[in-house]
């Protein structure tokens, strides 16, 4: 049985650049996914060209991320950061630049398109038709899922996005889901054909995120050696629910005032999405709750520094209302720090309940306070979770993700040319 070799992938990430700092604006886990999987694909001999929108006038048209991975900055709309809601108006301009780039080369430059998020899927749909290559698409988040699990006061995703996602699902040759649960959502909520949905778990950089001295990490970050550190990492917006952590910490201090001298609540990230409407929300909430003295608000950190935050933490808290996977949870566990996460979406895969962390039902701050107090008062149990966290994360490397993606690409190309190729499904 002949397998068609995939040599070059056109990766489309219209609304956020893989070079942007995760944790602010629209940059998050998807950026990490694109960068890390592209690097590993290049190591496997698959070249990757990432098409993204230029957000500054001085960006080079083409930047080499690593050998075998190029980032192409395309002009589509104003250079300054645009609200994601305004990006659909730039689809035509962005698509035109994508097609113009390919047209300067001989036909057949790209073997497959991999689009990320629904806006990129719309671009990929038309490029697929023009180039005669298969489209592989990863949703990362889905409007129908988010709208079922809205935080209080959060705005639902618009119907235009729902329709756009449905169109991408119907046209894509392969749909890559992060977990089996996400695969089921694509089938049940969007009517995706089962044989076009493939589960590929995201990974973690096990070289960068690994255990090291907690005391040394705390010294570098200016944290007391004997502190109880509750850590939140991510974009500050209602969906990610950092307010749940602050309210839970307030409840912990009410229940046990003696904790105040040692408790540190660290939130590493910047406002994003609906959170941009109130960029000082967390600071105001800390003041309102009377816990400003224990809360540290930290700007988004590069990954090397982020690893120190994970190592310094007693527990990493991920109280999101919706997560397609939850890379923060995996990064923390790889550093040996257990996780308390909401029992939603991909977090049920990223965290092994009772082994590498705790899954918490709902978003009641009192319930979260009880869960988090265990990490403070039961050090022997926490140490057991720490060992389980390291073991659990070790099974998720980006190399495995890249190998599986290469199989998905080959299957999509082979199917387009009617050459049967087996690929593992869910």
Write the pLDDT tens digit of every residue in 194-205: 999 999 999 999
Summarised one tens digit per residue, pLDDT across range 131-149 is 999 999 999 989 999 898 8
Lowest mean pLDDT among 48-57, 63-72, 274-283, 375-384: 274-283
The SS3 assignment for 401 reads helix
Residues 359 and 227 in one domain: yes
Percent of the chain clearing pLDDT 90 (strictly above) = 77
Does residue 274 or residue 328 have the better pLDDT? 328
Summarised one tens digit per residue, pLDDT across range 251-306 is 999 999 999 999 999 999 987 666 566 778 899 999 999 999 999 999 988 889 99
Residues 97 and 23 in one domain: yes
Give the angle 175-176-178 at the CA atoms, nearest 5°.
140
Residue with tokens 């949703």: 139
Binding-site residue ranges for UDP-N-acetyl-alpha-D-glucosamine: 21-22, 29, 235, 240, 323, 331
pLDDT band at 77 (very low <50, low <70, confident <90, very high): confident
Residues 66 and 119 in one domain: yes
Residues 311 and 188 in one domain: no
Please give the DSSP secondary-structure letter assigned to residue 62: E
Residues 167 and 237 in one domain: no
**115 beta partners:** 12, 137
Residues 370 and 353 in one domain: yes
- Asked if the structure places residue 261 within a domain, the reply is yes
Structure tokens at 145: 């899922």
Burial group, residue 228, by CB count within 10 angstroms (0-12, 13-18, 19+): buried
Residue 424 has pLDDT above 60, yes or no: no
User: In terms of DSSP bridges, do strands 228-233 and 197-199 run parallel, antiparallel, or are they unpaired?
Assistant: unpaired
Predicted local confidence at residue 325, as pLDDT? 85
d(CA 282, CA 287): 9
User: In terms of DSSP bridges, do strands 339-342 and 357-360 run parallel, antiparallel, or are they unpaired?
Assistant: parallel
Residues 222 and 346 in one domain: yes
**Domain encompassing residue 104:** 8-203+398-417
- Residues 285-299 as b/e (b if ≥16 CB within 10 A, e otherwise) read bbeebebeebbbbbe
- Asked if the structure places residue 245 within a domain, the reply is yes
Neighbours of 46 (CB within 10 A): 23
Long-range contacts of 399-404 (CB under 8 A, 24+ apart): 399/40, 399/43, 399/203, 400/201, 400/203, 401/36, 401/37, 401/40, 401/200, 401/201, 401/202, 401/203, 402/37, 402/40, 402/41, 402/43, 402/44, 402/46, 403/44, 404/198, 404/200
The stretch 217-239 carries a mean pLDDT of 95
Q: CA-CA distances (angstroms) from residue 229 to 55, 225, 315, 362, 372?
A: 36, 10, 7, 22, 10
379 close to 180: Cβ distance less than 8 angstroms: no
Residues 166 and 282 in one domain: no
The DSSP H or E segment spanning 74 is strand 69-74
Predicted local confidence at residue 272, as pLDDT? 65
Predicted local confidence at residue 422, as pLDDT? 45
Number of domain units in the chain: 2
Residues 322 and 249 in one domain: yes
Predicted local confidence at residue 57, as pLDDT? 86
Structure tokens at 135: 């489209």
Burial group, residue 236, by CB count within 10 angstroms (0-12, 13-18, 19+): buried
Predicted local confidence at residue 4, as pLDDT? 66
Residues 302 and 407 in one domain: no
The stretch 15-20 carries a mean pLDDT of 76
**316 beta partners:** 231, 339
384 close to 356: Cβ distance less than 8 angstroms: no
Summarised one tens digit per residue, pLDDT across range 359-416 is 999 999 999 999 999 999 999 999 999 999 999 999 999 999 999 999 999 999 998 8
- Asked if the structure places residue 271 within a domain, the reply is yes
d(CA 9, CA 68): 11
Give the angle 363-242-153 at the CA atoms, nearest 5°.
70
Burial group, residue 357, by CB count within 10 angstroms (0-12, 13-18, 19+): buried
Binding-site residue ranges for 1D-myo-inositol 3-phosphate: 15, 26-31, 84, 117, 141, 161
- Asked if the structure places residue 209 within a domain, the reply is no
Binding-site residue ranges for Mg(2+): 310-311, 313, 337
Structure tokens at 393: 């994360």
User: In terms of DSSP bridges, do strands 8-13 and 295-298 run parallel, antiparallel, or are they unpaired?
Assistant: unpaired
- Asked if the structure places residue 315 within a domain, the reply is yes
307 close to 62: Cβ distance less than 8 angstroms: no
pLDDT band at 151 (very low <50, low <70, confident <90, very high): confident
Residues 159 and 254 in one domain: no
**Strand stretches in 242-324, DSSP E:** 263-268, 295-298, 315-318
Predicted local confidence at residue 24, as pLDDT? 53
The SS3 assignment for 256 reads coil
Residue 324 has pLDDT above 90, yes or no: no
Summarised one tens digit per residue, pLDDT across range 339-360 is 999 999 899 999 999 999 999 9
The stretch 77-105 carries a mean pLDDT of 85
The stretch 316-329 carries a mean pLDDT of 93
Residue 71 has pLDDT above 80, yes or no: yes
The SS3 assignment for 176 reads strand
**137 beta partners:** 115, 175
- Asked if the structure places residue 423 within a domain, the reply is no
Predicted local confidence at residue 1, as pLDDT? 35
Burial group, residue 145, by CB count within 10 angstroms (0-12, 13-18, 19+): buried
Predicted local confidence at residue 421, as pLDDT? 44
- Asked if the structure places residue 426 within a domain, the reply is no
- Asked if the structure places residue 3 within a domain, the reply is no
Predicted local confidence at residue 25, as pLDDT? 54
Lowest mean pLDDT among 70-79, 309-318, 387-396: 70-79
Residues 178 and 36 in one domain: yes
Binding-site residue ranges: 15, 21-22, 26-31, 84, 117, 141, 161, 235, 240, 310-311, 313, 323, 331, 337
CATH number of domain containing 253: 3.40.50.2000
What average pLDDT does the structure give for the chain?
A: 91
Percent of the chain clearing pLDDT 70 (strictly above) = 92
d(CA 116, CA 12): 6
Lowest mean pLDDT among 1-5, 249-253, 299-303, 334-338: 1-5
Q: CA-CA distances (angstroms) from residue 407 to 116, 282, 402, 411?
A: 18, 44, 9, 6
Predicted local confidence at residue 271, as pLDDT? 79
């Amino acid at each position: 049985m002949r397998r068609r070799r995939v040599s070059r992938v056109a990766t489309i990430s219209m609304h956020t650049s893989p070079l942007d700092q995760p944790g602010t604006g629209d940059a998050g886990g998807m950026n990490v996914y694109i960068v890390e999987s592209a690097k590993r694909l290049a190591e496997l001999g698959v070249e990757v060209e990432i098409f993204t929108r230029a957000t500054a006038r001085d960006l080079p048209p083409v930047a080499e991320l690593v050998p075998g991975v190029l980032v192409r900055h395309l002009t589509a709309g104003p250079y300054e950061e645009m609200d994601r809601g305004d990006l659909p108006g730039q689809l035509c301009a962005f698509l035109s630049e994508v097609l113009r780039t390919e047209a300067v080369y001989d036909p057949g430059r790209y073997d497959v398109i991999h689009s990320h998020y629904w806006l990129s899927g719309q671009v990929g749909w038309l490029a697929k038709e023009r180039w005669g290559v298969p489209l592989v698409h990863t949703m990362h988040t889905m409007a129908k899922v988010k709208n079922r699990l809205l935080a209080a006061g959060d705005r639902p995703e618009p119907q235009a996005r729902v329709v756009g996602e449905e169109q991408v699902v119907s046209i894509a040759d392969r749909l890559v889901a992060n977990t089996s649960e996400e695969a089921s959502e694509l089938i049940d909520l969007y009517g995706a054909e089962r044989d076009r949905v493939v589960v590929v778990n995201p990974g973690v950089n096990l070289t960068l995120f690994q255990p090291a001295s907690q005391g040394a990490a705390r010294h570098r970050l200016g944290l007391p050696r004997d502190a109880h550190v509750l850590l939140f990492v991510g974009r500050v917006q209602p969906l990610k629910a950092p307010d749940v952590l602050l309210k839970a910490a307030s409840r912990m201090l009410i229940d046990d005032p003696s904790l105040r001298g040692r408790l540190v609540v660290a939130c590493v990230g910047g406002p994003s999405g609906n959170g941009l409407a109130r960029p000082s929300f967390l600071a105001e909430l800390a003041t309102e709750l009377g816990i400003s003295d224990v809360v540290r608000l930290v700007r988004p950190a590069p990954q090397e520094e982020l690893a120190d935050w994970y190592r310094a933490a007693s527990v990493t808290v991920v109280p999101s209302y919706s997560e397609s996977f939850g890379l923060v949870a995996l990064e923390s566990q790889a550093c040996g720090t257990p996780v308390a996460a909401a029992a939603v979406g991909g977090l049920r895969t990223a965290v092994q309940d009772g082994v590498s962390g705790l899954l918490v039902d709902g978003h009641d701050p009192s319930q979260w306070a009880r869960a988090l107090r265990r990490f403070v008062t039961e050090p022997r149990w926490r140490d057991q979770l720490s060992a389980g966290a390291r073991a659990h994360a070790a099974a998720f490397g980006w190399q495995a993700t890249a190998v599986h993606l290469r199989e998905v690409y080959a299957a999509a190309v082979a199917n387009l040319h009617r050459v049967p190729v087996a690929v593992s499904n869910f």
